[in-house]
Amino acid sequence: MKPLGEVPVNLTTDVVCIGHASYDLIFSVNYHPAADEKTTAQHFLACGGGPAANAAVVIARLGFNAAFSGYLGQDLYGASHVQELADEGVNMALLVRGAMPTPVSVVWVKPDGQRALVNYKGDTVTLAETEVDYSNISAKAVLFDGHEPHLALKFLQQQPQIPSILDAGSVHAGTLALIDKSQYLVCSEKFAVQYAGDVSAALTRLAGLAPVVVITLGEQGLIWQRGAEKGWLNAPTINAVDSTGAGDAFHGAFAAGVAQQLAWQDLLVYASVAGAYCCTQTGARPGMPNQQQHSALAKTFCAHWLAG
Position 259 pLDDT exceeds 50: yes
- In terms of pLDDT, which residue wins out, 301 or 231? 231
How crowded is residue 86: how many other Cβ atoms within 10 Å of its Cβ?
11
Q: What is the mean pLDDT of residues 4-32?
A: 87
∠ Cα 111 24 217 (to 5°): 55
Q: Could you tell me the pLDDT band of residue 184, with boundaries at 50, 70 and 90?
A: very high
Position 281 pLDDT exceeds 50: yes
Q: Could you tell me the pLDDT band of residue 254, with boundaries at 50, 70 and 90?
A: very high
Single-letter amino acid, residue 214: V
Q: Please, which residues have CB within 8 angstroms of residue 210's CB and are 6 or more apart in sequence?
A: 166, 179, 180, 182, 183, 184, 185
Lowest-confidence pick of 18-27, 109-118, 145-154, 195-204: 109-118
Residue 308's pLDDT is what? 45
DSSP code, position 126: P
Asked if CATH classification 1.10.10.10 holds for the domain at 11-307, the reply, yes or no, is no
- In terms of pLDDT, which residue wins out, 236 or 86? 86
Q: How far is Cα 132 from Cα 135, in angstroms, rounded to an integer?
A: 9
Nearest CA among 4, 214, 212 for reference residue 98: 4
Q: What is the mean pLDDT of residues 41-46?
A: 91
Q: What is the mean pLDDT of residues 239-262?
A: 93
Single-letter amino acid, residue 288: M
Residue 107's pLDDT is what? 86
What sign results for the dihedral spanned by CA atoms 97, 187, 248, 241?
positive
Residue 2's pLDDT is what? 57
C-alpha pair distances (Å), 161 with each of 109, 140, 142, 197: 40, 9, 10, 33
CA 293 to chain centre: 19
Q: What is the mean pLDDT of residues 170-178?
A: 96
Residue 196's pLDDT is what? 96
Residue 52's pLDDT is what? 98
Residue 299's pLDDT is what? 87
Please report how many Cα atoms fall inside a 13 Å half-sphere around the Cα of residue 47, on the Cβ side.
21
The pTM (predicted TM-score) of the whole model is: 0.92
Position 50 pLDDT exceeds 50: yes
Position 136 pLDDT exceeds 90: yes
- Give the residues across from 138 on adjacent strands: 12
CB 152 within 8 A of CB 163: no
Q: How far is Cα 147 from Cα 39, in angstroms, rounded to an integer?
A: 33
For residues 204-241, b (16+ Cβ closer than 10 Å) or e, as one string?
eebbeebebbbbbbbeebbbbbeeeeeeebebbebebb
- Give the residues across from 168 on adjacent strands: 187
Position 305 pLDDT exceeds 60: no
Helix spans in 34-181 (H):
51-61, 76-88, 149-158, 173-178
Position 217 pLDDT exceeds 80: yes
